[in-house]
Chain A
Amino acid sequence: MTISTASTFAAPVVVVEDSDEDFDTLREAAAASGIARVIHRVVSGGDCLAMLRGEGDVRLPLLPVLIVMDLNSHGVDGREALVAIKTDVGLKEIPLVVLTTSSNPKDVAFCYQAGANAYHVKPVQHDQYLLLLRSLMHYWLESVTLPACLTKVD
């Protein structure tokens, strides 16, 4: 599923999320933040890897400038995808933010050790969730400076 926003930037955002409600919330937050990037949604870690490697149904014109990843998905889950991305020389520089329900310290430790750039726990309260997503997107898409390989076109 590809959602086009009023994008002026070619480099997309990839979101790994198997919950429609949660993806809805994310899209809502993106809209509210005025994010002008294509957001590609995949529902599993496996699909995400395929997409990044150009093996999936959707071909990305450029590498994404951000991956937002839920840890728990069917098939190849977020953990495996995280490890695969962060050990792939061509992909490891893409900022990857884990966004998950789990507050398990083991998961937190695992993700940072694997090279995740940030770890966020999804709150149950909708308004708090929105707030989190907005600040997340603001930060990663507007505040941070990205490495050259991700900013060739932009």
Chain B
Amino acid sequence: MRENLTKDMQSALFAPPAPPTIASSGADDPVPWDTQPYSIKRHGLSITNCDAEPVRTPGCIQDHGALLVLRLSDLSVLQVSENTQAILGHEPHELLGHSVAAVVKHEGEIRLRSILATEPTERNPIYAFTLPANGQLAALDVTLHTIDGSAILEFEATGRSQPGVETGFVAPRPRHGPDYYSLIKKTVARLQTLETGQTLCQSLAEEVRVLSGLDRVMIYKFHADHHGEVFAESCRSDLAPWLGLHYPAGDIPQQARDLLAKTSIRPVPDINGELAEMMPLVNPDTGMPVDMTFCALRGLSLMHTEYLQNMGVAAGLTMPLLRDNLLWGLISCHHYSGPYHLPYELRAACEFLAQMGSLHLRAVEDRENAAYRLRLEEVNQQLLSLAAQEGGLASMTDGKPSLLGAMHAGGAALFHRDRWWRVGQTPDESQLEALGQWLVDKVDTSSLVSSVYATHALAAAYPPGAAFADVASGVLAAPLSRSGQNLMMWFRPEVQKTVNWGGNPHDKPQVTGPHGPRLTPRRSFELFSESVHQQAAPWLPVEIDAAARLRTLIMELVVVRAERLAGLNADLTRSNEELDAFAYVASHDLKEPLRGIYKYAHQLLEATPANEEEKRKLDGLMRLTLRMDSLLDSLLHFSRVGREELTLEEVDLNEVLADAMEMVGSRTGDGCTEIVALRVLPPIMCDRIRVREVLVNLLSNAIKYNDKVAKRVEVGFVGPHETPLRGAFPADTNGQTVYYVRDNGIGISARHFDQVFKMFKRLHGREDFGGGTGAGLTIVRKLVERHRGQVWLESAAGEGSTFFFTLSASDDN
């Protein structure tokens, strides 16, 4: 039965292969391997799209080794690579359908069975044994793994046999013998001391190059958008470095990346080597092509070969660097001087190094990430305490540190208190304005979680962003208020501006293969430039977290401030109410006994006092009672002045002045008292009643404290821009209208200037100048301050006084 089957298979296998076809057909034509199994040899050149290539089932192996597919149950040979004669000394038909013992002898078969029974061979190639050299045949390392219910046996030269050395095809032994263990032990110890991803990768590249002897070892790092960067490199000193070069994602297509993540090592000893096709192409038991994902001998895609050939690469070795089982990058090695075969043992050492590298990379990156996170958080806290101290967010852009303190960004901007605050490289204000408007709609400001907007390709989402893509292709934005009006943003410049193209690989001759210039580094660079056009380096999760965190902190600060303010307001209201109650008590509870005292004094006086002395005392008692009454009234009034709401309205000061003059009982031109306004007063916003009270107080003082026969009072103002007149005015009254009331009265000596404004402070005897409680100027100052103005005076004893005041509340409007 088996014989028959094998014969059928053989006839199928020996049919001549289909001639290679060149891709020239239309896009709608079905790919040839839709109807027959794929083989690079037969169909490889028809591939024009890397993503369509069945890389896992190439149907061919690199012909420096041989591959057998065995049936698991009896270890009989189901498929062979067509080159078995050259490698194993048996024609394919001598092996197909026979036991594997035909190649590996009985001992080998027993060893294979034992490995299959005890080792984790599924999708995991395990070294089985070395077949000794036999005549013209080199000694062969044999690895075994299982996949899809079959066993796959790979045979490769050990590198220790004479024939290999003669052909120059095998790497020379390390000088001190193949003690890879002690070499690697030192290396691993060294890797553990490295602090950053960059130094770790650099060291890894150097170690791999020393170990392998390859011409160029690169640590190729995938970015979030899958484009790659030569992150670290060690190369022969005569080669141009490629460090820092970027390549488009298409250079290593998705399925190639998937494959690389699964295979721990990918040797290509000879780029220009032949391919050996599988016979038959499909497994006769399963009808499926061989899945070569885990085969070291897996045949190379012609596209990949051509790409490497175009770069002058003769041999290569690729190992994945994984992080959390995802492909972080590659250790990509090129050899230029000729084919270069790393025997299994050495390869295993490199593989081990790569795995150690992956592990350390994770640790180092976590550490770096944590350090970055910490630094961001530290700066966040500093920003916040500065903002809390200053009571505003201006320090976010103007302070040290600013928003750029830790964040890797080119610029930052903040919309706060109705203006933009900028630091570093940012779009201009009109651009920010428009971007801000757009962002408000974009960001869900009511959500605390998803309220940060991050993009590394602004122009794609927001076409006007193209105008400033050079400084702000990347935008990280967080609204600072529910309305979204207040915004905080960071900007990242376009990648092209940040990538160092010093090593632009134009040093290689432009050799092109069948696929033309597409598969050349230059074209690759051009593609990369296109792919990162108007793009910035993506924002890291840790950066987005930090922005969201800062946003939360700022909003908390705002809330805390609002709460504190509300608390203070409540306290203030309470203390005002207490003051109100106190004033009330003062006016009522203190006045009631006063009225009683007055009444009894009055009655005693009516009832004919004994003598003049008693009468004088009773008069004094009544007078003091009345004085206390007026003091209480002043106190009550003053407490009200400070508390009651102002009613701001457009007021004609000339009318107010006329009212005030009437209230003080004087008219201009009445002969002995003259009040004049030299020019028409400007209309202002103020509380009419309060300002009238100010004028009444100042006017009555001007008249009261005046010993001249012809009393003269002048009311006027100095406009905001009448600078020559403003010589001695306080500097902070610049830009404000200053009003004044000037008299020719008794004047005040400078040492009393402060005292005149104090409550109940009188400079003269109680009964001099018509008496008074001494509250008038205190109330004036209070009223002026309620208008956010200030009051001061110029005077000298005997030379008259001028009282100046401002009413800022009016200048605001």
Write the residues of chain A forming the contact surface with B, with a CB cutoff of 8 angstroms: 19, 21-22, 24-25, 72, 100-105, 122-127, 129
Contact = CB atoms under 8 A, between A and B. Distances in A.
Given A124-B598, A124-B629, A125-B626, A101 B603 contact: no
A21 B591 contact: no
29 contacts: A19-B592, A19-B595, A19-B596, A21-B595, A21-B596, A21-B599, A22-B592, A25-B599, A72-B588, A101-B588, A101-B591, A101-B592, A101-B595, A102-B584, A104-B584, A104-B587, A104-B640, A105-B640, A123-B595, A124-B591, A124-B594, A124-B595, A124-B598, A126-B595, A126-B599, A126-B602, A126-B603, A127-B602, A129-B599
Nearest to B637: A103
B359 interface: no
B633 interface: yes
A64 B135 CA distance: 143
A17 to B, nearest CB: 10
Contacts of A105: 640
Contacts of A101: 587-588, 591-592, 595
B625 interface: yes
Contacts of B587: 101-104
Interface string B403-417: 000000000000000
B136 to A, nearest CB: 119
Contacts of B598: 124-126
A78 B633 CA distance: 22
A105 B639 CA distance: 13
Contacts of B718: none
B585 to A, nearest CB: 10
Given A101-B588, A129-B595, 4 more contacts: A101-B591, A103-B587, A124-B626, A126-B595
A19 B594 CA distance: 12
Interface residues of B, number: 20
A102 B588 contact: yes
B9 interface: no
Contacts of B602: 125-127
Contacts of A21: 595-596, 599-600
Contacts of B599: 21, 24-25, 126, 129
A125 B626 CA distance: 7
Interface string B573-597: 0000000000010011101101110
B636 interface: yes
Name the prevailing secondary structure of the B interface residues.
Answer: helix
Contacts of A104: 584, 587, 636, 640
A124 B625 contact: yes
Given A25-B599, A126-B602, A103 B592 contact: no
Contacts of A127: 602
Contacts of A19: 592, 595-596
Nearest to B630: A124
A148 B15 CA distance: 133
A102 B599 CA distance: 18
Nearest to A19: B592
A101 B593 CA distance: 11
A108 to B, nearest CB: 13
Nearest to A102: B588
Nearest to A71: B588
B587, B589, B625, B626 — most chain A CB neighbours (10 Å): B587
Closest 3 CB pairs of A and B: A21-B596, A126-B602, A126-B599
Contacts of A122: 591, 595
- Give the most central of B584, B588, B589, B629: most A CB within 10 Å: B588
B240 to A, nearest CB: 90
Nearest to B625: A124
A93 B599 CA distance: 34
Contacts of A22: 592, 595-596
B596 A103 contact: no
A100 B591 CA distance: 10
Interface string B44-75: 00000000000000000000000000000000
A40 B596 CA distance: 21
A84 B133 CA distance: 121
A125 B627 CA distance: 11
Contacts of A100: 588
Contacts of B633: 103
B714 to A, nearest CB: 33
A104 B588 CA distance: 10
A101 B603 CA distance: 21
A59 to B, nearest CB: 30
A114 to B, nearest CB: 18
Contacts of B600: 21
Nearest to B633: A103
A127 B595 CA distance: 11
A29 to B, nearest CB: 12
A126 B595 CA distance: 7
A22 B587 CA distance: 16
A32 to B, nearest CB: 13
Interface in B620-648: 625-626, 629, 633, 636, 640
Nearest to B590: A101
Contacts of A124: 591, 594-595, 598, 625-626, 629
Contacts of B625: 124
A21 B602 CA distance: 13
Interface in B600-630: 600, 602-603, 625-626, 629
A19 B625 CA distance: 18
A74 to B, nearest CB: 12
Contacts of A129: 595, 599
A103 B603 CA distance: 26
Contacts of B589: 72
A22 B591 CA distance: 12
Nearest to A100: B588
A24 B603 CA distance: 12
A69 to B, nearest CB: 14
A103 B637 CA distance: 10
A127 B603 CA distance: 10
A127 B727 CA distance: 55
A127 B598 CA distance: 10
B604 to A, nearest CB: 11
A66 to B, nearest CB: 22
Contacts of A126: 595, 598-599, 602-603
Contacts of A123: 595
B636 to A, nearest CB: 7
A68 to B, nearest CB: 16
A151 to B, nearest CB: 34
A123 B625 CA distance: 12
A102 B594 CA distance: 14
Interface in B778-795: none
Interface string B70-88: 0000000000000000000
B593 to A, nearest CB: 8
A71 to B, nearest CB: 8
A70 to B, nearest CB: 9
A123 B584 CA distance: 16
B534 to A, nearest CB: 67
A19 B593 CA distance: 9
Interface in B505-540: none
A20 to B, nearest CB: 8
The residue among A105, A126, A129 with the most chain B CB atoms within 10 A of its own CB is: A126
